[in-house]
């Protein structure tokens, strides 16, 4: 393949400084324009994440230089490889690292990446199934695994998921419910309560009705643990309401990056706060998590929580995501 189609973010004005207005265009690029790497992959599927939506606007906190191809997830087949551990014809996936940020990403028919980024596609997952999970599913699985490693098990008590209709949150609800946990889902979208119950939530709370009681160093011990995808005031509220030995994972900051609280939950109840960092997760752990996602933790019935789009439909879905209207996952078909 000497050229490839992609969705390219470029400045409206040549040589514009970072943060200037941009446009997202479907275009064709020569293969030699791809960044360096040992492995060239023909991409069949990618996905839409909130970080991708920001990248599509040229957000300087995500995109390091323009022009740029977003897409922090990609799955497909290896076309060429100079690395001995990766062979032409291998079905593979790439999530995290610098894909779609400093490095041209998966909204493209071709990507070229370092061999260390490439993970074999598990045989029980199709490329579409892998991208229905993508970084969001990988992050949710990391969070569930962290809870288990801190002895927060299905019989321990209710587990809270914040931002429960988003990509990470909706998949975390499904994984926890499938594993037998009692799940409390927190969302600001009243119209999604029925869908969350169908996904496995046993209790649903509106974030607008939560009494944060920020002046109290501890709250009534209700939760065995939690998966927080939003940050802001909800994270300290969740930590202050954990039972003895509870654990909360943190993987998002859309509501704020500060942690305003005392150390009492940690010192008096032994609560743990676990940060979840997906981009640079070590390879051995990364492959273990994908094996879980393809076997014991595999999610079915994707039609109820996945929206499939093509090149022309993706820009509209980006607008919906930035307006807070997208629920579940969006998969881009690039082939």
Average pLDDT over residues 295-299: 95
pLDDT in tens, 117-171: 999 999 999 999 999 999 999 999 999 999 999 999 999 999 999 999 999 999 9
CATH code (residue 261): 3.40.50.720
Residue 110 confidence (pLDDT)? 98
Same domain, 254 and 157: yes
Residue 186 counted as domain residue = yes
Residue 214 counted as domain residue = yes
Residue 303 confidence (pLDDT)? 81
> Is the pLDDT at 226 greater than 90, yes or no?
yes
CA distance 144 to 248: 10
Full residue range of the structural domain in which residue 152 is found: 135-275
CATH code (residue 108): 3.90.180.10
CA distance 75 to 20: 31
Beta strand ranges found along the chain (DSSP E): 3-11, 22-30, 39-48, 73-81, 91-95, 110-113, 119-120, 159-161, 183-187, 203-206, 223-228, 242-250, 272-275, 306-309, 329-333
Same domain, 205 and 241: yes
Same domain, 168 and 41: no
Residue 134 confidence (pLDDT)? 97
pTM for the structure as a whole = 0.94
> Is the pLDDT at 276 greater than 80, yes or no?
yes
Residue 20 confidence (pLDDT)? 83
Same domain, 69 and 162: no
Residue 1 confidence (pLDDT)? 78
Closest by CA position to 38, among listed 2, 79, 67, 76: 79
Residue 334 confidence (pLDDT)? 95
CA distance 276 to 143: 7
Residue 283 counted as domain residue = no
Same domain, 256 and 196: yes
Residue 19 confidence (pLDDT)? 76
Beta strand ranges found along 107-153 (DSSP E): 110-113, 119-120
pLDDT in tens, 56-92: 999 988 998 999 999 999 999 999 999 999 999 999 9
Residue 290 counted as domain residue = no
State whether residue 140 is helix, strand or coil: helix
Residue 68 counted as domain residue = yes
Residue 285 counted as domain residue = no
Same domain, 167 and 235: yes
Average pLDDT over residues 100-115: 97
Same domain, 143 and 252: yes
> Is the pLDDT at 209 greater than 90, yes or no?
no
Same domain, 82 and 202: no
Same domain, 74 and 152: no
- Which of the listed residues 258, 275, 292 is the one where a domain comes to its end? 275
Query: Lowest-pLDDT range, 11-20, 204-213, 244-253, 286-295?
Result: 11-20
Same domain, 173 and 82: no
Residue 287 counted as domain residue = no
% of the chain exceeding 90 in pLDDT: 89
> How many CB atoms are located within 10 Å of the residue 4 CB?
21
Residue 16 confidence (pLDDT)? 76
Strand partners, 274: 249
Same domain, 90 and 172: no
* Domains of the chain: total: 2
Residue 292 counted as domain residue = no
pLDDT in tens, 12-66: 988 777 778 999 999 999 999 999 999 999 999 999 999 999 999 999 889 989 9
Same domain, 115 and 139: no
Residue 301: pLDDT band by 50, 70, 90 thresholds? confident
CA distance 293 to 281: 15
> Is the pLDDT at 304 greater than 90, yes or no?
no
């Amino acid at each position: 393949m000497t050229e490839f189609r992609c969705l390219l973010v470029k400045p409206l004005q040549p040589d514009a400084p970072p943060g200037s207005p941009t446009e997202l265009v479907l275009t064709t690029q020569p293969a030699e324009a791809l960044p360096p790497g040992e492995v060239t992959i023909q991409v069949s599927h990618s996905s839409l994440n909130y970080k991708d939506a920001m990248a599509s606007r040229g957000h300087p906190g995500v995109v390091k230089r323009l022009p740029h191809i977003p897409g922090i997830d990609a799955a497909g087949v290896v076309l060429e490889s100079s690395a001995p551990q990766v062979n032409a014809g291998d079905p593979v996936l790439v999530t995290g690292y610098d894909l779609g940020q400093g490095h041209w990403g998966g909204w493209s028919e071709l990507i070229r990446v370092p061999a260390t980024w490439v993970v074999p596609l598990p045989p029980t997952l199709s490329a579409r199934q892998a991208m229905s999970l993508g970084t969001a599913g990988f992050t949710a699985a990391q969070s569930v695994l962290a809870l288990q490693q801190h002895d927060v098990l299905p019989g321990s008590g209710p587990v809270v998921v914040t931002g429960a209709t988003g990509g990470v949150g909706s998949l975390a609800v499904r994984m926890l419910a499938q594993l037998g946990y009692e799940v409390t889902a927190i969302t600001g979208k009243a119209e999604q309560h029925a869908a969350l119950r169908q996904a496995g939530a046993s209790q649903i709370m509106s974030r607008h009705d939560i009494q944060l009681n920020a002046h109290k160093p501890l709250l009534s011990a209700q939760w065995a643990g939690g998966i927080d995808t939003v940050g802001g005031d909800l994270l300290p509220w969740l930590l202050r309401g954990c039972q003895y030995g509870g654990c909360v994972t943190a993987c998002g900051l859309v509501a704020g990056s500060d942690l305003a609280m005392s150390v009492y939950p940690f010192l008096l109840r032994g609560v743990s706060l676990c940060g979840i960092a997906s981009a640079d997760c070590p390879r051995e752990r990364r492959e273990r998590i994908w094996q879980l996602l393809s076997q014991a933790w595999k999610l079915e019935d994707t039609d109820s929580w996945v929206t499939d789009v093509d090149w022309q439909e993706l820009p509209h879905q980006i607008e919906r995501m930035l307006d807070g209207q997208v629920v579940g996952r969006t998969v881009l078909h690039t082939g």
